[in-house]
Every structure is written in C-alpha cells, then in structure tokens.
Structure 1
Amino acid sequence: MAGYKNPAFIIKNNSPEYDKLYAPGISAPHAGIYRCNKCGHEIGIAQGHVLPPQGHPQHSAAMGAIQWQLAVYAIHNK
C-alpha cells in the first residue's frame, strides 16, 4: 500500500481513472503508482513507460492474469 508523510502533497480525487484496470505490457496512461490487483505489488512509473509483465514477480497460474490499477496519480502542473 502506498504511504506518505506530508498530507499537503496529496489530495483526494474521485477520478474514474482510479477504477480502470490495465494489462501488463501496455504504456502507462498516467505517471504515478500502480498496484497489481493480484499480489498487491506496487510500482512507480512515468507516463508512457511500459507496465511490467506477468512475471513482475512471477505469479502462479492459479492467480490468473494480472492487471495494474492506478493508486496514486501524479498531476502535472502546466
């Protein structure tokens, strides 16, 4: 689970982007922290970089296909 120290750096956001699931091997649509919906492993990734494959650590076949879910979205000020 993602953690933080300073609550001034995080805001509550109910964007539907947090509800979407992403397949391994696709480009991350947002910079941020993604969580594997099978094992809970989290990764930080830049927008456009490729989400890790099925073996990010290796999953058993019983776990089924993994999907990544956005946990923390990096909002870029323009």
Structure 2
Amino acid sequence: MAFFQNEEHLHQMTHKVFNMVFTANDTVPVSGIYRCLGCSREIAVTRGEPFPNNKHHPHGPPQGPIRWQMIVIADHEPK
C-alpha cells in the first residue's frame, strides 16, 4: 500500500491506465507507482522503461505470474 503525508500533493482522478494490467518486460505507459497483483510489491517506474522481470522480482507458484497495476500517476508536467 502506498503511503503519503500531505494530501494536498495528491488528487483523485479517473484514468484508463488504472484499470490496465501489465506483465514483466512490458513498456511502462505512464510514470508512477505500480503494485504487483501477485505479491503486493510496489515499484516506481518511468514511462518508456520496461517493467521488472522475474530476475528482479521472483514469484513462487502461489503468487502466479508478475502482473503490475498502476496505483499513483507521477505528473511530470503539472499545470
């Protein structure tokens, strides 16, 4: 679970990327924090980079394959 101290730095929004699921080595579409659906590990990744694979983030059979889902978007161009 991601934590924060100052809620004025966070805004709730709806975006299609929050509903998408990505696998190891997929290209990151939007920079931010993603959570693994199998083991709940969270990572910060940058748009255009690949998601971590099994060498970085091993899973056992009970956790299934590595699947990433966005939980926080990093806004590189704030208004």
Structure 1 runs (4+) deviating above 3 angstroms are none
Distance 1:20 1:43 in 2: 16
Task: Give the length in aligned residue pairs.
Answer: 78
Q: Identity of counterpart residues, as a percentage?
A: 29
2:29 partner amino acid: P
| Structural mapping, 1:48-63, within 5 Å | 48-63=48-63
Please, which runs of 5 or more residues in structure 2 have no aligned partner?
none
Distance 1:40 1:21, change over 3 A: same
RMSD: 1.5
**One-letter amino acid matched to 2:50:** V
Q: TM-score, normalised by structure 2?
A: 0.87
Q: Distance in 1 between matches of 2:17 and 2:50?
A: 17
> Which runs of 5 or more structure 1 residues have no equivalent in the other structure?
none
TM-score by length of 1: 0.88
